[in-house]
A and B are shown apart, each in its own frame.
Chain A
Amino acid sequence: MSKEILIVDDSQTLRLMVKICLKGLPYALTEADNGASALERLGQQTFDLILTDLNMPEVDGFEFIERARKLASAEQTPIVVMTSREGEVDIERAFALGASSYVHKPVKKEELIAVLVRHLGT
């Protein structure tokens, strides 16, 4: 059975990229183009894993993680941050708010799949 993944990123290019990376693998992808719509989706459905950008308009990645962790549907869900920022401060802040791990942008298929397998076991 497919694992449900929610991807949150305002870049359609990146979402398409991840979609293609995961094509043919047992993952079903749901897209959200910002933190607010992702929180809405979390109110309707539970996901096995959440992939999120940090730098987004309106509700950014940090606020999204913080608010998602307060929802019963995402309290325990692994949250993987996709970051272009090398600065450890950002990553540490994301971890402090509840992120589980991170991958670098540009996202490499190998790195992405490794992190998914680590969290989802498939």
Chain B
Amino acid sequence: MDDPTHKTDEIKILFERANSFMEDLLAENKKLRKELGQVEAENRTFAERYVQIESHNEVLQNLYVSSHRLHATLDPNEVLDTIKEIVINLVGGEKFGIWMLDDAESLAMSLLAHEGLEEGAGLEPKEIALAKKVLGSDAWYGAPGEMPLAVVPLRVDDRSVGLIVIRGIFGHKKVLGHLDQQILGLLSGQAATALTSARLYAEKSRKLETMKAFLDFIKTKT
């Protein structure tokens, strides 16, 4: 016959073992949960980093396209068209103008190219005030819903020679974001230079043609 005391002890030992096993399992579970949390946090960091890199790539890609296109031609009209294309296709500008400074003292400007504005449109009073501010410093960006949305100086070296004023963007875009500001920053530094180079080249070519014609004329006379 089995000894009941012995049986109870055996059951007690079994319970203790089970209890200890359960505690081990709980500890392991806790450890695994902690590790899982760490892996998940790591994944989140990687995902965030991936998004950052993708966004950085997008900035670089857009800057590359803008820069490449700006310097792809020496025809002043094509350079102007390119500036417009960049503002439309890469920034999403719907209503904007490119004004060039005729006289730095009086801030007289003429509209060189535009999209969605009336021919010969001038700057609004608020834009003139902003123009005075940005011609000597960096671009100005309005808060969402503010008009204009952006006033960007166009520079050759350290001299401002004009402005891009954006009054409207495509409806599905809410604001000018970081990427847009980067592209406009590039335009600020390079658009006027590309335009000035193209104008100088066109002028030189014209003069060269005149001189050639003149020399040919002299040759035929002598």
Contacts and interface: CB of A to CB of B under 8 A. Distances in A.
B92 interface: yes
B92 A84 contact: yes
Nearest to B88: A84
Contact of A86 (B62, B66, B69, B172): B172
A108 B180 CA distance: 12
A38 to B, nearest CB: 18
Interface string B163-175: 0000000111000
Interface size class of A (residues with CB under 8 A): 10 to 19
Interface in B17-75: 54, 58, 61-62, 64-66, 68-69
Contact of A14 (B54, B85, B94): B85
Contacts of A16: 65, 68-69
Contact of A11 (B88, B91, B171): B88
A13 to B, nearest CB: 4
Interface in A36-56: none
A93 interface: no
A104 to B, nearest CB: 5
Given A11-B85, A13-B65, A106 B90 contact: yes
B89 interface: yes
B82 interface: yes
A87 B69 CA distance: 29
Contacts of B170: 84-86, 104-106
B86 interface: yes
Contacts of A104: 170, 172
A87 B61 CA distance: 28
B222 to A, nearest CB: 47
Interface string A1-32: 00000000001111011001100000000000
17 contacts: A12-B69, A12-B82, A13-B65, A13-B69, A13-B82, A13-B89, A14-B85, A16-B65, A16-B69, A17-B61, A17-B65, A17-B89, A84-B92, A104-B170, A106-B90, A107-B89, A109-B54
Ranked nearest first, the 8 interchain pairs of A and B with the lowest CB-CB distance are A86-B171, A13-B85, A14-B89, A11-B85, A106-B92, A13-B69, A84-B170, A17-B65
Interface of A: 11-14, 16-17, 20-21, 84-87, 104-110
